[in-house]
Amino acid sequence: MIEYTNKITALYSRLSVGDEDRDGGESNSIVNQKAFLERYARQHKLMNIRHYIDDDESGRFFDRSAYTQMISDVESGKIGIVIMKDMTRWGRDYLQVGNAMEIFRRNNVRFIAINNGIDSQDQNTLEFAPFINIMSEWYARDISKKVKTGIKTKGASGKPVATEAPYGYIKDPNNKDFWVVDKEAAEVVKLIFTLFMEGKNRNQIAVYLKDKEILTPTFYMKQQDRGTAKSRKLNEENRYNWNKATLTHILKRQEYCGDVVNFKTEKHYRDKRNHYVDKDKWQIIENVHEPIIDRSTYENVQRILKNAPVKRPNGDGEIHSLSGLMYCKDCGTKMHIRTIHKNGKVQHVTYCSEYAKGKAKHPKCHSPHRIDVDDVMENLTEVLRKIAQYSLANKEEFEALVKNSLAKEQTEEVGKQQKRIPQITDRMEQIERVMNKLYEDNALGNIEPKRYELLSRKYAEEYYTLKAEQEEIEERLSEFENANQRAKNFIKLAESYSDFEELTPTAINEFISKIVVHERDVKRAKYAVQRIEVYFNYIGKFENELTKEIEPTEQEMIQMREEIEEAKKEKSRAYHRAYSKEYRAKNLEKFREYERIKAREYRARKKLQATT
C-alpha cells in the first residue's frame, strides 16, 4: 500500500461564471466547496491539506492557474492525494481529463471525486469515469450551442451582440440593446476621419493626437469604467500613445455610419480566442443608431484604405496631396514626389520609383517619367471643374456617357477577368486533389514528414493566393455591372463642391483614384509633350467626347511643339545676350584698348594706301 503521510492532500475547487445558477445554486460556491472537501478529509483522517482554487474559470480550458500549479506539484512528487467535489470540477474536456488521470497514475497519486463515488484505490470505481468525462464534455458543448443560438437570435433581430459599445458610443441607460453617441469620444472619431481625408497618413494622425494629449480608446474607456481594461492596471506611458493599428481599426468600423455589424468573429466551445470570419458571414443592419460619420465619407475612407496608397513625407516632412496616387505607365509602380528648392522657388516633381532605385543590370523601368506635379495639379483642377460642371448641368447625358465609357473599359478588362475565373477554379481543384493525395501518402508513411510539410505549405499558400484573387475579380465584375449607380454617386459627390478654384487634399481623395504618367514624347527632353491618364472614383478613366474637348488636338500639339522649339531658341539667344553683356561689362577697358588698336591699324592702312 502506498504511503501518503508525508505528502500534500490537494483539495481542488473550481467555480465558473454562472455555475451557481446552473448546478444547484449555493452548493457550488467556492466557500461551500472548501468546507465540503475539508469535512471529507477530516472524516477520512487525511492530513497535510492544501487548497487549490480556480475562481471564475471555465471547465472547458485547462490553462487555469491553480490547476496548472497542482499538476506541477503532482509531477514534482509533492502531492499524494487529490480530492474534488465531482468530475465536472476537474474539467469538461474528456481528452484532457484522461491525460491528467494518466499523469496521476504515473506519479502514484490517489484521485477522489466524492459525488461520483470515484476513488483510484478502488479500480471498480474507475469503470464509469470515462463515461462521466464524455457526458461532461457533451454538457459543455450543449451549453455552448444554446448560448450561440441565443446570441444569433438576438443578432438577427437587429440588436448588437457585442458586450461593449465601440469607442464613440455608449449603451443607452434605458435600453442596453441600443447605442447612443458619446459626444466627447465621437468628436475624436470625427477628427480622425477628417485628418485622414485631408491627406494625413495614420502615423501622422497618431503624432497629432499625442501632441494634443487625447486619451487612447483604452485609457478613455477605463476612465469611464468601461471596457475590458477597467479592472486592469495600464502603463501610464501609453496614455496618449496612439498607433497605426488602433487608427486603422477605427477607420474601418462600419458602426460609425449608424449600422449594427454582428458576427464578425466566432470561436469554438473549446477555444478562448475569437477568430475573425469572412465579411460575407457578417450580419449588417443599416441605420439602427445615430451615425457619427456620414456614409459617403466612410466609403471614401474604405476605398483609400483598400488601395493603400503609401503616403511618405519628403525631406521637408511634407506629404503632397498626390502622394501615393501617381503611377508609372510603363512599369506600373508608384512614383515618388520630391520637393526642389531652386532660385528661391519651390517645385514639386515626381519620378518613377523603379528607375530611381539605381543602375541595375535589368531595371524594370528605363526612363524616369519625370513630370512637374504643380502642372499636374493645375490640369487636374481644370479637368475636374469641366467634368463636374457638365455632370451637374446634363445629368442624364452624363450618366449615358459614363455607361458607355465603362462599357468600353469592360470590353477588354472584363473579358480577361472572366477568362481568368475558370483558370483559377481549375487550379484550385487540382491543388485540393494534390493535397488529398499528400495527406494519404503521409498517413500511409509513403512520404517523409519534412517533405510533406514543405509541399503542404507550398500548395496551401498558392491555394489561398488564388482564392484572394478570385474574390477580387468577382468584386470588380460586380462593380462594372452597376454603371448607372456609379454615375449617380459621382454626381452626388460633385454637388457637394461649388467650385474647384483650389484643389484640396480632401477633394483629391474624394475624386481621384489614380493618375498614370506616360513618358515624354522626346525622352529626357526638358521641353516636351507629356500625357497623363486620370482615373476618377466611381467613373474610372472616363475618356469620351467631353475629355477630348479638354485634350489638345493634333494641330494644337504641332503648335505646342513649335512654341517649345521657339522657346528653346529664344532662351539660348537670351542667354548669349546676357553673357555677352556681362562679359563686356567686366572687360570694358580691354575692349576700348582693343578698339583703339584696331582704329590705329585701320588709319595706318588707309595712309599707306594714299601714299602708294
Q: In what order do the strands lie in the sheet with 371-372?
A: 335-342, 345-352, 371-372
Assigned C-alpha cell, 426: 481549375
Averaged pLDDT, 390-407: 73
CB contact set of 380 (below 8 Å; sequence gap of 6+): 503, 508, 512, 515, 534
Separation between Cα atoms, residue 582 and residue 577, nearest integer Å: 9
Helix (H, G, I), strand (E, B) or coil at 171: strand
What pLDDT score does 22 carry? 41
What pLDDT score does 154 carry? 59
Statement: residue 451 has pLDDT above 50: yes
Q: What is the 3-state secondary structure (H, E, C) of 288-347?
A: CCCCCCCHHHHHHHHHHHHHCCCCCCCCCCCCCCCCCCEEECCCCCEEEEEEEEECCEEE
Q: What is the pLDDT of the chain when averaged over all its residues? A: 77
Confidence band, pLDDT 50/70/90 cuts, at residue 336: confident
Statement: residue 188 has pLDDT above 90: yes
Dihedrals phi, psi of 591, to nearest 5 degrees:
-65, -40
Confidence band, pLDDT 50/70/90 cuts, at residue 479: low
Which helix (H) or strand (E) covers residue 181, if one does?
A: strand 175-181
Confidence band, pLDDT 50/70/90 cuts, at residue 594: confident
Domain 8-152 CATH superfamily: Resolvase, N-terminal catalytic domain (3.40.50.1390)
Statement: residue 242 has pLDDT above 90: yes
Closest CA to 251 of 167, 183, 163, 313: 167
Q: What is the pLDDT of residues 163-185, one digit of tens each?
A: 788 899 988 888 888 888 999 99
Confidence band, pLDDT 50/70/90 cuts, at residue 266: low
What pLDDT score does 1 carry? 46
Separation between Cα atoms, residue 287 and residue 280, nearest integer Å: 19
Architecture of the domain whose range is 158-307: Alpha-Beta Complex (3.90)
Averaged pLDDT, 435-455: 80
What pLDDT score does 92 carry? 64
Q: What is the pLDDT of residues 494-541, one digit of tens each?
A: 777 766 667 777 778 778 888 888 888 776 666 677 788 888 877 777
What pLDDT score does 275 carry? 65
Q: What is the pLDDT of residues 88-129, one digit of tens each?
A: 777 766 567 767 777 888 888 888 888 777 888 776 665 555
Statement: residue 194 has pLDDT above 80: yes
Specify the higher pLDDT residue, 57 or 39.
39
Statement: residue 20 has pLDDT above 50: no
Closest CA to 62 of 132, 7, 137, 10: 137
What pLDDT score does 274 carry? 64
Confidence band, pLDDT 50/70/90 cuts, at residue 186: very high
Per-position DSSP letters for 71-87, written without gaps between them: HHHHHTT-EEEEEES-H
Separation between Cα atoms, residue 489 and residue 468, nearest integer Å: 27
Q: What angle do CA 489, 160, 278 make, to 5 degrees?
A: 65
Averaged pLDDT, 438-452: 79
Confidence band, pLDDT 50/70/90 cuts, at residue 407: low
The residues with which 293 forms a beta bridge, in sequence order, are none
- Strand 110-113 and strand 79-84: pairing? parallel
What pLDDT score does 135 carry? 47
Averaged pLDDT, 253-281: 70
Residues composing the chain: 612
